[in-house]
Amino acid sequence: MTVITIRLEDELLDALKKLAELEHLDRTNLIKKLLRKVTEEELIENVLQLYTKGRVTLEQASELANVPPWAVIDLMALRGIQHKGTPEELRADVRRRLEEIGLKRLADEI
Amino acid sequence: MIKIDACSLIYLVKSDLLSVALDLYKEIRITDSVYDEVIVRGKRAGHSDAAVAEAEVQRKKIKVVPSKAKKEPSLASLGRGESDTIAEARAEDCPALVDDSRAKVVARKLKVPFLSVDIMLIEALARKKITMDEFQRMARDLNSVANFRSDKYADLLAIANIVSRWKK
């Protein structure tokens, strides 16, 4: 474990003291708990944004956020983040696939 | 036979569409890297759907194969499972089921035959493996997992209408 020193504003320190009392924790453990929670949330938020923009793949997102890929998919749905694909890409991919399976005439109608 | 990446495997399991993939392609294969990523890591984290996927492996509905294919440099931008899936599909000249948008870009560039789970449903409809009613239900289930853009989902249903009315 590494020791770090940070300077905090008096108001923030007061709020931490009050919260520590309410949660029956000493200040160090409270700060560790809050840091862990916020860090995990911010990490996931940032990774979901990268994944939504197509900057990382699902596996890479899962590794960066340190959660299994199932969790990334669940979080995307839970937060209502929509899949990146467009109707134009869909039509092009449907046409290509129909041609690959020998249905060129049908592909031409899409 | 079809090779499946992590994203598509999750969509198939969560939307209960593995049977459609089996009906169309007879054999579903995942690489050991996809197995580790989806099933081993998923089970370790307590995801119940990972156990569902593992049961399909044990029932031999999904085969796990080692990744042996030589990889193109462009595959380096993907995760290990995604790149293995595309490399294996390319080496064996079979389609890859790929739903990850970045992986699709690379598959397109390498001219590897690929499709995503929504297009698999269109293919099932075109091959008369499912009815339009079944398509609509399955597409709805898939959308609840994949959360497509609403204009894309509307277009998927419009394409399905054309396909269902089409006569050879």
d(CA A19, CA A11): 12
| pLDDT the model gives residue B18 | 94
**Interface predicted TM-score (ipTM) of this complex, two decimals:** 0.90
| pLDDT the model gives residue B99 | 94
The 10 Å CB-count burial string (b at 16+, else e) for B96-134 is bbbbbbbbbbbbeeeebbbbbbbbbbbbbbbeebbeeee
On the 0-12 / 13-18 / 19+ scale of CB atoms within 10 A, B9 is buried
d(CA A78, CA A75): 5
Torsion angle in degrees (nearest 10) through CA of B138, B143, B148, B152 = 30
User: Which positions 38-77 of B are in contact with A (Cβ < 8 Å)?
Assistant: 38, 41-42, 44-45, 47, 49-50
Decide if B102 and A101 are in contact by the 8 Å CB cutoff. Answer: no
- Cβ of A102 under 8 Å from any chain B Cβ? no
Q: Mean pLDDT across the stretch B56-74?
A: 88
The two beta strands, B28-31 and B114-115, are unpaired
Decide if A86 and B151 are in contact by the 8 Å CB cutoff. Answer: yes
| pLDDT the model gives residue B144 | 94
- Which overall architecture, per CATH, does domain B2-116 show? 3-Layer(aba) Sandwich (3.40)
Q: Determine what percent of chain A is predicted with pLDDT higher than 70.
A: 100
- Name the token pair of B16: 């209960």
- Name the token pair of A100: 């690959």
| pLDDT the model gives residue B33 | 95
Do the Cβ atoms of A93 and B115 come closer than 8 Å? yes
pLDDT digits (tens, 9 = 90+) for B6-41: 999 999 999 999 999 999 999 999 999 999 999 999
Kindly indicate the confidence band of residue B84, based on its pLDDT and cuts at 50, 70 and 90: very high
Q: Mean pLDDT across the stretch A92-104?
A: 95
Residues of chain B with CATH 3.40.50.1010: 2-116
DSSP letter for A18, please: H
| pLDDT the model gives residue A81 | 87
The model's pTM is 0.90
